[in-house]
Amino acid sequence: MKPKIFLARKVPKEVEDYIAQHCDIEKWNGPGIIPRHELLKLLGDSEGLLINRELIDPELLDSAPKLRVVSNNSVGYNNFNIEAMKSRGIIGTNTPSVLDETVADLVLGLILATARRISELDRYVKTGQWQGIIGNELYGTDVHHATIGIIGMGRIGECIAERAKFGFKMRVLYCNRKQRAEAEERLGAEHCSLEQLLQESDFVVLMTPLTPQTINIMSDREFGFMKRTAIFINASRGETVNESALIKVLEEGKIRGAGLDVFDKEPVDPNNPLLKMPNVVTLPHIGSATAKTRFDMAMLAGQNLVKALLENEPANLVPELKNI
């Protein structure tokens, strides 16, 4: 008998067909994102679950007594309550690597958009304000040969560093808990303390996972170290930044601008002051959102689910849930 699984989000037909060869599928057929109460109700006796970052906590796990595997269709897995999953012996998988280059492209997009004021000046042209030669009040700042500081230089961070180093001839600083010798050699990246990175970088890029250690890793004190001319980019998770502290430094002109793909609350509140600032570029959490990469992620999430349910050596287990 095939194991029963639940698809909480729509996946491409090819992915569903692949999963259907190995599992009996139940799925959310309603519009949009499945409401939490529906998910709890519909999980029933599913052994596998494929999600897009829905919260996996004791309440959900208690509503699905037969659940064995949760496949996250994303690389970040801060939505997993690791202790609750561990204590119930539930496997969790994610989708590393297939999205690295795509997310790195977007981060460079945010760097260019903020430094060269692309969104702001697009609005300037479209609202008919372009009446003559522009003056220095609309000049941007150079990206090439500047210093980039990457907080959390892992798979995605290294792809950002590659682009920065070889495309834009930038100096690359990074701050991880462990040094990455190979990346240092290949990219000339320099490992340093968070404080030094913040003091010396023209572009500070936050790319850590969200963990108990990285919640609010950027707060008043850390923004205080940044140069007045520096730009802050966040493509990790909203909660890695103390958003009030970010709003404050921007309001006080203590940094030049920010590029944000992620927010404390998503979708972002339309009244969030960050949305009113011309020097802040905002995006709706689209780091990996290209057609090919989203397809590859969904296929990998499907394969992870099937492998974990049917094979002895499942792939892409999140490190904290290995050997449970």
Ligand X SMILES: NC(=O)C1=CN([C@@H]2O[C@H](COP(=O)(O)OP(=O)(O)OC[C@H]3O[C@@H](n4cnc5c(N)ncnc54)[C@H](OP(=O)(O)O)[C@@H]3O)[C@@H](O)[C@H]2O)C=CC1
**Set 14, 195, 252, 266: catalytic member:** 266
**Is-contact 8 49, C-beta < 8 A?**
yes
Q: Interface with ligand LL5AMS7Z includes 74 (CB under 6 A)?
A: yes
Q: Interface with ligand LL5AMS7Z includes 75 (CB under 6 A)?
A: yes
Q: How far is the CB of 206 from ligand X (least distance, A)?
A: 9
Q: Is 285 a catalytic site residue? A: yes
d(Cα 209, Cα 75) in Å, to the nearest integer? 9
Q: Interface with ligand X includes 213 (CB under 6 A)?
A: yes
Q: Is 237 a catalytic site residue? A: yes
Q: Interface with ligand X includes 177 (CB under 6 A)?
A: yes
Helix (H, G, I), strand (E, B) or coil at 196: helix
Helix (H, G, I), strand (E, B) or coil at 220: helix
Burial class (CB in 10 A: 0-12, 13-18, 19+), 68: middle
Identify which range of 27-35, 73-81, 143-151, 198-206 contacts ligand LL5AMS7Z by CB under 6 A.
73-81
Q: Interface with ligand X includes 154 (CB under 6 A)?
A: yes
251: its two tokens: 């309001």
Q: Is 266 a catalytic site residue? A: yes
Q: Interface with ligand LL5AMS7Z includes 157 (CB under 6 A)?
A: no
Q: How far is the CB of 134 from ligand X (least distance, A)?
A: 32
Strand residue runs (E) in the chain: 4-7, 24-27, 48-51, 69-72, 91-93, 147-151, 171-175, 190-191, 203-206, 231-234, 257-260, 280-282
224 to 148, 216, 227, 253: CA distances (angstroms): 17, 14, 8, 11
Binding site for ligand LL5AMS7Z (CB under 6 A): 74-76, 99, 287-288
- Catalytic sites, residue numbers: 237, 266, 285
Binding site for ligand X (CB under 6 A): 75-76, 96, 99, 103, 151-157, 175-178, 207-211, 213-214, 235-237, 261-262, 285, 287-288
